Structure 1
Amino acid sequence: MKKITRRQALGIGAGAAAALGLTACSSSSAPAPTAGASASGKPVAIPTGTIDEVYEGRRIQITLGAGGHHGVGVPTIKIDGNELHLMGNADGSWVTVVNHYESFPDPISAARAAIRDLQGAELAPFIAKEVQL
């Protein structure tokens, strides 16, 4: 008969603890944040269709694409015709390439903050390059 090693016993114990933790999380009464929800659980307005506005003299155009950047419905933001790269966080908040370390509740707020941070400078075009392995 083969004996169980300490490493195997620790692995089984860690797996059991993880399973119990997931069970406890899934049975809690608080709803988990979903896409379009903030960390507080309140829904965040994600634009549908097209938004076209002028903010501090700069033109913001937001459209909700069918596929989006990573296959999800990430809105496309253009400031004066140049695309502002937008990324969604797991908690439903948004960040841009201009202010990458600050989260915003909706894409409109992210675009306005990018305009403030640009301080009149032009937004450089975002060009995604493929990496060859």
Structure 2
Amino acid sequence: MDTITRRQALGTTAGALTALGLAGVTAHAAATDSRAAATTSAGPVDEVYQGRRIRISTEGGGHHGGHHSPGLPTVRIDGRELHVMRNADGTWISVVNHYETFADPASLARAAVRELQGAQLAPFAPMGGTA
């Protein structure tokens, strides 16, 4: 009897789907790691996007809660600092767009310009601080 049972077919299908899922997770992790490495090695940015000046400096690190944070870039839109944070997976978020992640500070700054719709950035005041 060389026929395959329903149980064997389901087991084989489940095993194949599990292997495909693991391969996808591994590929995503590798892409995230290479993207994070590319982000940290990026140089300074000075561009005009939708009429707004975006400047990103990697020298000296950004400010986080009024304290110097080595490794964080300083992102400025029209001379005003945009508070940025790096997630554990290497993506970036900002106070302007806190629920969407971005691959690098430059794409994050461009999204902030779009979200601001011409409004100026307000000074960031950490909790317990003053504006």
TM-score bracket for the superposition, by shorter chain length: 0.5 to 0.7
Secondary structure, aligned partner of 2:120 = coil
* Corresponding residue to 1:126 among 108, 124, 127: 124
Is contact 2:63-2:83 (8 Å) kept?
no
Correspondence for 1:42: 34
- Between Structure 1 and Structure 2, the one with more helix by share is 2
> Residues of 1 paired with 2:61 and 2:79: CA distance?
20
* Corresponding residue to 2:59 among 65, 82, 99: 65
Letter in 1 for 2:78: D
Shift of 1:48: 4.3
> Residues of 2 paired with 1:119 and 1:43: CA distance?
28
> Residues of 2 paired with 1:118 and 1:67: CA distance?
24
1:28-81 CA distance string (max 9 Å, x none): xx69x6xxx853x33343264421100000000000133444633000000001
Structural RMSD (CA): 2.6
**TM-score normalized with structure 2 length:** 0.63
> Residues of 2 paired with 1:42 and 1:75: CA distance?
18
1:72-114 CA distance string (max 9 Å, x none): 3000000001100000000000000000010000000000000
Residue 102 (structure 1) aligned with residue 96 (structure 2): no
Structure 1 unpaired stretches of 5+: 1-29
**TM-score normalized with structure 1 length:** 0.62
Is contact 1:68-1:74 (8 Å) kept?
yes
Structure 2 unpaired stretches of 5+: 1-25
Measured at CA, do residues 48 and 130 of structure 1 come closer, stay the same or move farther in structure 2, by a change above 3 Å? Answer: farther
